Structure 1
Amino acid sequence: MDVEEVKKPPSKEKYMRVQSAIRLLVLVVFLGWIFIWIMAPTNIYKQKWEPRLQAKTVSIFGIQALLVYTSPILFIAVLGCVYVHIAKKVNGFSMESSDGKKREASIWKRPVLVRGPLGIVSGTELAFLFMFIVLLVWSFAMYLHNGFAKITHKSAAEHGLKVWEKKLGTAGVKLGIVGNICLAFLFFPVARGSSVLPLFGLTSESCIKYHIWLGHMVMTLFTAHGVCIIIYWAIADKLSKMLEWKKIGISYVAGELALVAGLFMWITTIPRIRRKVFELFFYTHYLYILFVVFFFFHVGMFHACTMLPGLYLFLVDRFLRFLQSKRRVRLVSARVLPCQTVELNFSKSHGLAYNPTSTIFINVPSISKLQWHPFTITSNSSLEPKMLSVVIKSEGTWSQKLYQMLSTPSGIDHLNVSVEGPYGPAQTNYLRSAHLGNPASLLVKYDKLVMVSGGSGITPFVSIIRELMYLSTTFRHRTPEVILICAFRNSSCLSMLDLILPKSGTSCDISSMKLRIEAYITRKTEPKLDSQIHLQQIWFKINTKDVPISAIFGPKNWLWLCAIISSSFIFFLILIGNITRYFIFPIDHNSNKIFSHPLRSFLNMLVMCVSIATVASAAFLWNKKQNDKEAEQIKTNEGDKELESFPQQSIFQATNVHYGVRPDLRSKELACSFNGLEIQQRKELTLLYSFFPLHFAGLLLELTGSNVGVFASGPKMMRQEVATICSSELARNLHFESFSFSW
């Protein structure tokens, strides 16, 4: 056998077979987990399955619930880490093998609901939401059926109650149990570095709306649970129970405190409050700590295990973010734009790779020590291996203070900044399939890309354009034609188009790709802007304590996360098992003493947090030496400033600026877009776009007949308008995706 054959790297097909096997195993485990939720309310589970399972498990308090509800999801999370690690090697190749399957799949991704309280919802999202509601209704109906079957006139009379009064109390309890189902899913979307979401093609940013939906469901059910119980106590003349904190069983005071904390968070999520008083919304959300703690005290560890998987993964993610945030990162330079926007350029390690549209959370202690704000990364990790850039538009209190600090004539020579991230998609959704390790062989998924943005919504598209620029220049790869449609309030905002060109010494040229920019200035009285835009450049002094942005565990970040999740959970089981065996168990078997249930819940929470913190800190310290060595090497090579950005003429040549006007469907230019359509279709399109006064409808009509990816980022109304076009039956070639900044 030839030596070269022995050293030949694994083929793409082998990696993809492993990914397929992982996804199949995840699907089986996940369906089994959901099946447990379906069967839990039934008598079969209570009378037959649960006793058998309990007889075969170790006699540790809560171990049964840990095995049934927690272990499967943590096993999926471990598989997810391996899956994403392989996806990084394969460079994010999708699993589709044919265009036909891709078209069928895109039907499920088409917007179905555009306007409404749920926002923009696809067919897949709507189907899963419907199935989840069916699960809630099924569970509640079965719990009520089994509970009401035990209530008779005789049993109610023994407590001095009527049948309907007893049923009201039972219904209140069952509402709380059903609320636990929603709570079990609540924390999954907010784990930013989640290894579970990529298995389903999701990111934490795109899942925020699911967190909002689940939050409303949780608080609705828990509030109804609390109201029903209080009414039941009032009828039964037992309101004194509201002040009981029992050592054994349910602690009512803890439940009331958890509900109060939840209600405070719920109230501040009202859109008007969240938008106008964001700081109140932000700080009030820290009450989730009290909510979780008192929830554990209220129901005990056994019942809390139903929501433990999502909470456990969130705690792991939260502590890793805490470790990363303690490092001060090096801010190299900043560009101040005339439209009250700043671009921050950070030093980054060479091994840090991220996909376009990734986000990073930034904290500036001199503005606020607690506030963290997400921003889209505009730089490209391949095109700019030493630099990570974000763009911040002065729109809120925090961003306005930052802009004032950087734009003052005196200026500042150093700024302390901490970051969390980057976080982003595990694979790109506009390029598809390639030979392993050869980006030049990527296949084009769309013939054209249409990117519709409003204001600062242009930032995700800057990262996509830079990625396409890198591929087209470095590998001579055929990239899709790009049409960027951007709307700005005034002409000074056109300076944001200069951000498309990276501040780097690379040889990339935007002329190597097909780019067309349609810029709209909505104010009619704005003067036209000259082709030369003057930006203020700020360079910061080097601080020896600052480090480049890097993955917390280096290139094998996901494998380390896999080890942390599995090791910390095993450590937790060993610790809590020993505490139960040698401390709690002897007390419970003493006829004169019973170990306090709230104290037991506290010990479980404490041991869980200690296990996560110990294992994660050990992994962090193990990798810290290597990260510090790389950071020192980068500092020694940082003597020269970057080169200036590419000439702006290439951007302005590709830009068509419209001052105070919007596309007119009756114009000759847009009338040509109807060529090739039947007369009836032309009438329907005209009626559709007349009914919806869309800003960009005319330009999208030009793309009829092509396989087009349509991305929208910016104000809610604008995204809804673009989604309306893509949801039309006459626009099946348009594949819509939205980037939202409203979370």
Structure 2
Amino acid sequence: MLGLTSEGSIKYHMWLGHIAMTLFTIHGSLYIVYWTLTHRLSEMLKWDQHYIANVAGEIGLLCGLALWMTTYPTIRRKMFDLFFYTHYLYIPFMVFFILHTGIGFACIMLPGFYLFIIDRYLRFLQSRQKVRLVSARVLPCETVELNFSKSRALNYSPTSIMFINVPSISKLQWHPFTVTSNSNLEPERISVVIKCVGNWTKNLYDLITSPSSLTNRHLEVSVEGPYGPAATNFLRHDMLVMISGGSGITPFISIIREIISTTQSHNIPKIKLITAFKNSSHLSTLDLILPISGIPSSESCSDLDLQIEAYITREKGQPKDKPQIPQTVFFRPDTSDAPIYPTLGTNSWLWLCAIISSSFLIFLVLLGVFTQYVIYPIDQNTNKLYSHPKKALMNMLFICSSIVLTATGAFLWNKKRNSSEAKQILDTEESVTNRSSFGDDGRELESHPQQSVIKSINVHYGQRPDLQRILLESKGSNIGVLVSGPKEMRHDVADICSSGLAENLHFESISFSW
């Protein structure tokens, strides 16, 4: 609703998490201090069946503290697995919070949490599908582009992200990566770029490039997404200055491909890409600007004005060695693989509305029947009221059951409708793969020249870009300045744009470091 991207909203998630845990910790600590001062520590062991359950609150607080401690930046970055797995403690945290306060107080946060459960369950249904990995483009700088098969009905915006899971590396770990493809240029392909910066990505790179692992040329992969903004507004600018550092270039690849796809129908802005790399091997990342397939003709790209200024910061001059050529590894499909298609089909908003409304209606009916025939007779005919924890557990059961019932039905209905298209896509890909020429290790033997749409590219060795000079010299009444890279780079560009030296600069940051 606000146009925030998934990664852009993470900081608000962090702020709310810190605020909630701070208040919860103060709340619990003050009660413990009060009980200690009044010599009533036995209150900590009480689980009242008709009022606040203290033990449940203490268990919830311990789960929250364990989750909270692992979010410390040093722990999160150096021990990511610990951070990742302890985050699942949000489940007992929420369950014991509801048992602590009772379902009446918990209904304060029911709307938001109800939508979260629906979203999380739909993601779970999508993640159970094994998707069709078509190929991988391997670059000399230990970077790979994974190309997946997708349905033509799946559309997404530039700068979207997709979560990837490779069971042979880890069945539980899901990692987000930027989508670099464009649904208009590549209607049956979706691509993500992965750079080796950790154990998981290194294992994936080794798995793809190892000849012994490519005997059958098949890799089992599951995905969630893609997720991204509903729309982008970069076409409103006269000129786009894109500034990136390292792997921060990946969202700009998707933006450039989007502009390439709209050259016939819009007045497109000029593009100046300022990118900084550590060494010259990373220049191969620029090869990803054009897709493997679906490359537009020179006529359709004649209006595109793309200038690239690449800076190599750790090399003084052009290397004498001949640059390595990216390799393409093709994979064969498995019978269980399927193209990526919209979880709820083409009319996803309509289906989502139906799931929310129908599941909540089912929940109210179940709750009404349970209250009328179970809770009410006990409350009226006996001196003992129905247990609050049992009532909370039954409410949670009704909510989850109604969501599982409706969401599963909608998912299976759309899956059945997409099955015929999926079979057609897989048959087409199989015939194309059989006609291709491969070596014994699964790598493509023939290279296919790509027609460049880049007007000019300049490589500067042994220096960093003078961002202030570049931005102030940019000509245009409405210049969009997009930056993606290290925190220091983003802050420097923001300071220049807000300094008042030029009124035609409009700053936008794309951040992945949280």
For residues 648 and 265 of structure 1, do their structure 2 counterparts lie closer, same or farther at Cα, with a shift above 3 Å needed? farther
1:645 to partner: Cα distance: 6.0
Distance in 2, Cα, partners of 1:568 & 1:521: 55
Amino acid at match of 1:647: Q
For residues 608 and 266 of structure 1, do their structure 2 counterparts lie closer, same or farther at Cα, with a shift above 3 Å needed? same
Question: How many residues in Structure 1 have an aligned counterpart in Structure 2?
Answer: 498
2:432 corresponds to 1:640: yes
Question: 2:285: which partner in 1?
Answer: 496
2:70 corresponds to 1:268: yes
Amino acid at match of 1:738: S
Amino acid at match of 2:64: G
Question: 2:305: which partner in 1?
Answer: 514
Aligned residues of 1:351 and 1:555 also touching (Cα < 8 A): yes
Distance in 1, Cα, partners of 2:470 & 2:66: 45
For residues 582 and 646 of structure 1, do their structure 2 counterparts lie closer, same or farther at Cα, with a shift above 3 Å needed? farther
2:107 corresponds to 1:305: yes
Question: 1:460: which partner in 2?
Answer: 251
Question: 2:331: which partner in 1?
Answer: 540
Question: 1:296: which partner in 2?
Answer: 98
Q: Normalising by structure 2, report the TM-score.
A: 0.93
Name the stretch that deviates more: 584-593 or 716-725.
584-593
Compute the RMSD of aligned alpha carbons.
Answer: 1.8
Distance in 2, Cα, partners of 1:328 & 1:550: 12
For residues 711 and 632 of structure 1, do their structure 2 counterparts lie closer, same or farther at Cα, with a shift above 3 Å needed? same
Distance in 2, Cα, partners of 1:529 & 1:482: 30
Distance in 2, Cα, partners of 1:644 & 1:568: 53
| Greater helix proportion | 1
2:86 corresponds to 1:284: yes
Aligned residues of 1:337 and 1:496 also touching (Cα < 8 A): yes
2:229 corresponds to 1:430: no
Question: 2:441: which partner in 1?
Answer: none
Name the stretch that deviates more: 628-637 or 369-378.
628-637
Question: 2:502: which partner in 1?
Answer: 731
Cα shift readout 1:194-236 (whole Å, capped 9, x = no counterpart): xxxxx22233332111111111111111111111111111111
Superposed counterparts of 1:683-702, under 5 Å: 696-702=467-473
Distance in 2, Cα, partners of 1:512 & 1:408: 42
Name the stretch that deviates more: 598-607 or 499-508.
499-508
Aligned residues of 2:64 and 2:90 also touching (Cα < 8 A): yes
Distance in 2, Cα, partners of 1:558 & 1:312: 17
Amino acid at match of 2:296: S
Aligned residues of 2:345 and 2:414 also touching (Cα < 8 A): yes
Cα shift readout 1:414-461 (whole Å, capped 9, x = no counterpart): 000001111111111212xxxxxxxxxxxxx11111111111111110
Amino acid at match of 1:489: K
Distance in 1, Cα, partners of 2:157 & 2:309: 25
Superposed counterparts of 1:129-278, under 5 Å: 199-278=1-80
Pairing partner for 2:347 from 535, 556, 570 = 556
Superposed counterparts of 1:337-376, under 5 Å: 337-376=139-178
Distance in 1, Cα, partners of 2:142 & 2:308: 22
Question: 2:440: which partner in 1?
Answer: none
Aligned residues of 1:469 and 1:512 also touching (Cα < 8 A): no
Pairing partner for 2:487 from 690, 711, 716 = 716
Amino acid at match of 2:486: P
3-state SS of the aligned residue for 1:306? helix
Amino acid at match of 2:233: N
Amino acid at match of 1:696: L
Distance in 2, Cα, partners of 1:462 & 1:202: 19
Amino acid at match of 1:725: I
3-state SS of the aligned residue for 1:305? helix
Pairing partner for 1:574 from 361, 365, 388 = 365
2:284 corresponds to 1:481: no
Amino acid at match of 1:478: N
2:447 corresponds to 1:658: no
3-state SS of the aligned residue for 2:180? coil
1:246 to partner: Cα distance: 1.1
Amino acid at match of 1:466: R
Aligned residues of 2:238 and 2:476 also touching (Cα < 8 A): no
Superposed counterparts of 1:316-355, under 5 Å: 316-355=118-157
Aligned residues of 2:295 and 2:450 also touching (Cα < 8 A): no
2:474 corresponds to 1:703: yes
Amino acid at match of 1:480: P
Distance in 2, Cα, partners of 1:648 & 1:399: 30
Distance in 1, Cα, partners of 2:144 & 2:64: 37
Aligned residues of 1:504 and 1:645 also touching (Cα < 8 A): no
Aligned residues of 2:281 and 2:323 also touching (Cα < 8 A): no
3-state SS of the aligned residue for 1:637? helix
Higher relative contact order (CA 8 A, sep 6+): 2
For residues 591 and 304 of structure 1, do their structure 2 counterparts lie closer, same or farther at Cα, with a shift above 3 Å needed? same
Distance in 1, Cα, partners of 2:306 & 2:509: 21
Distance in 2, Cα, partners of 1:313 & 1:742: 27
For residues 341 and 526 of structure 1, do their structure 2 counterparts lie closer, same or farther at Cα, with a shift above 3 Å needed? farther
For residues 508 and 209 of structure 1, do their structure 2 counterparts lie closer, same or farther at Cα, with a shift above 3 Å needed? farther
Distance in 1, Cα, partners of 2:414 & 2:450: 41
Distance in 2, Cα, partners of 1:631 & 1:421: 17
Distance in 1, Cα, partners of 2:489 & 2:381: 67
3-state SS of the aligned residue for 1:513? coil
3-state SS of the aligned residue for 1:487? strand
1:521 to partner: Cα distance: 1.0
Distance in 1, Cα, partners of 2:164 & 2:481: 29
Distance in 2, Cα, partners of 1:278 & 1:310: 27
3-state SS of the aligned residue for 2:391? helix
Distance in 1, Cα, partners of 2:451 & 2:491: 32
Aligned residues of 1:502 and 1:646 also touching (Cα < 8 A): no
Amino acid at match of 1:564: I
Cα shift readout 1:19-66 (whole Å, capped 9, x = no counterpart): xxxxxxxxxxxxxxxxxxxxxxxxxxxxxxxxxxxxxxxxxxxxxxxx
1:596 to partner: Cα distance: 1.0
Superposed counterparts of 1:405-416, under 5 Å: 405-412=207-214, 413-416=217-220
1:274 to partner: Cα distance: 0.8
1:255 to partner: Cα distance: 0.6
Aligned residues of 1:503 and 1:644 also touching (Cα < 8 A): no
1:476 to partner: Cα distance: 5.6
Aligned residues of 1:501 and 1:645 also touching (Cα < 8 A): no
3-state SS of the aligned residue for 2:381? coil
Identity %: 59
Distance in 2, Cα, partners of 1:375 & 1:529: 33
Q: Normalising by structure 1, report the TM-score.
A: 0.65
Aligned residues of 2:280 and 2:315 also touching (Cα < 8 A): no
Larger Rg: 1
Amino acid at match of 1:465: I
Question: 1:599: which partner in 2?
Answer: 390
Question: 2:221: which partner in 1?
Answer: 417
